[in-house]
């Protein structure tokens, strides 16, 4: 971040809540001393940037510790469990992150590590960093009136993330000349999954729709997206469920809309994917 900013701003949607993906809140504040943070369970989608070395982050358990490297974007999926340790950060640092909804509409789930519910993007050209800086400054100066500027910066960030190059594991590289590595094949599968978000689908019927074999379908889709077709379908259904929860819909209705039949089965799958029950997710999200 270029200029120190101190803000925690949640936007008043004023009828814009149907826009997706959508920035919910923006947070940015300076920090000049380090601590070992408490356990955090991400209540929703969050994107974070730090321009300087910001200590370490532990994922799923304190033993899985990774550097919070300079000029790096971290993407946290709902249910990601993590701890932040800033005791060895290159102070002063500027913490900056955005909570948002609608990741199911832009394909970010394909970048997330199923094990850690997390992805890391190296940003050597500071492309995302400059957008974070502009967004924080605009929000600090204009509050709610800056929403569309923030949303515009956020959409440009998503463009860079979605066109980043996979390095290894959950690590990606943001490039000033991004290339789209997805193909018509994975896009077609994704569209079929989205059209059938309200019911169970089998690998056999996806195979029939794509006119291919189950082994080729599974291998090629996972190679291009990082997840299996069925896992991706579950992700989409849970992302849809989260959006409905945040809109205040009843669990019975959400279960019907996502094809789980009843609240019990919805809650069981929801907790296995996000780490939180639907009610706890709503409670936690409401406190942000």
pLDDT at 83: 95
Mean pLDDT, range 139-151, rounded to an integer: 91
In CATH, which superfamily holds the domain spanning 7-173?
Regulatory protein AraC (2.60.120.280)
Q: Which pLDDT does position 214 carry in this prediction?
A: 92
Give pLDDT, residue 89.
93
Q: Which of 17-21, 52-56, 134-138, 208-212 has the lowest mean pLDDT?
A: 17-21
User: How far apart, in whole angstroms, are the C-alpha atoms of residue 202 and residue 31?
Assistant: 49
- Distance between CA atoms of residues 270 and 254, nearest Å: 11
Lowest mean pLDDT among 170-174, 256-260, 279-283: 279-283
* Banded pLDDT at 285 (limits 50, 70, 90): low
**110 with 232: CB under 8 angstroms?**
yes
The predicted structure's pLDDT at residue 103 = 86
Neighbours of 82 (CB within 10 A): 22
- H/E stretch holding 27 reads strand 22-31
pLDDT of the residue at 78: 93
CATH code, residues 184-286? 1.10.10.60
State residue 110's pLDDT score. 80
Which ranges in the chain are annotated with CATH 2.60.120.280? 7-173
Rounded to the nearest integer, the mean pLDDT of the chain is 88
Residue 167: the pLDDT is 82
Q: Omega of the bond prior to 56 within 30 degrees of 0, cis? A: no
- Average of pLDDT values for 142-162? 92
Tell me the pTM. 0.64
231-267 pLDDT tens trace: 999 989 998 998 899 888 999 999 999 999 899 999 9
pLDDT at 1: 45
Buried b or exposed e, range 121-151, using 16+ CB within 10 angstroms: bbbeebbbbbbbbbbbbbbbeeeeebbebbb
Encode pLDDT of 116-138 as tens digits: 999 999 999 999 999 999 999 99
- pLDDT band with cut points at 50, 70 and 90 for residue 224: confident
Sequence ranges of the chain with CATH classification 1.10.10.60: 184-286
Residue 182 — very low, low, confident or very high, per pLDDT cuts 50/70/90? low
pLDDT tens across 59-99, in order?
999 999 999 999 999 999 999 999 999 999 999 999 999 99
CA distance 27 to 125: 22
The pLDDT assigned to 53 comes to 94
Is residue 142 a contact partner of residue 128, using CB atoms and an 8 Å limit? no
């Amino acid at each position: 971040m270029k200029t120190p900013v101190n803000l925690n701003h949640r936007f008043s949607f004023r009828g814009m809540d149907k826009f997706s993906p959508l920035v919910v809140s923006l947070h940015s504040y300076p920090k000049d001393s380090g601590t070992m943070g408490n356990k955090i369970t991400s209540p929703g989608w969050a994107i974070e940037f730090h321009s300087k070395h910001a200590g370490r982050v532990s994922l799923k358990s304190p033993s899985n510790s990774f550097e919070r490297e300079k000029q790096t974007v971290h993407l946290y999926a709902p249910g990601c469990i993590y701890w932040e340790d800033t005791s060895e950060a290159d102070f002063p640092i500027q913490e900056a992150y955005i909570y948002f909804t609608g990741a199911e509409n832009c394909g970010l789930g394909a970048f997330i590590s199923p094990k850690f519910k997390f992805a890391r993007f190296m940003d050597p050209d500071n492309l995302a960093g400059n957008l974070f800086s502009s967004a924080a400054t605009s929000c600090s100066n204009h509050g709610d009136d800056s929403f569309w500027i923030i949303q515009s910066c956020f959409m440009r960030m998503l463009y860079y993330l979605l066109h980043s190059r996979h390095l290894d594991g959950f690590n990606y590289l943001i490039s000033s000349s991004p290339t789209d590595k997805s193909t018509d094949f994975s896009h077609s599968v994704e569209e079929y999954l989205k059209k059938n978000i309200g019911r169970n689908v089998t690998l056999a019927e996806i195979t029939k729709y794509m006119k291919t074999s189950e082994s080729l379908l599974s291998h090629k889709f996972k190679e291009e997206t990082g997840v299996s077709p069925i896992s991706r379908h579950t992700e989409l259904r849970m992302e849809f469920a989260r959006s409905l929860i945040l809109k205040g819909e009843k669990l019975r209705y959400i279960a019907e809309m996502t094809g789980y039949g009843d609240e019990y089965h919805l809650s069981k799958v929801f907790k296995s994917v996000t780490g939180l029950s639907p009610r706890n997710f709503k409670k936690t999200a409401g406190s942000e």
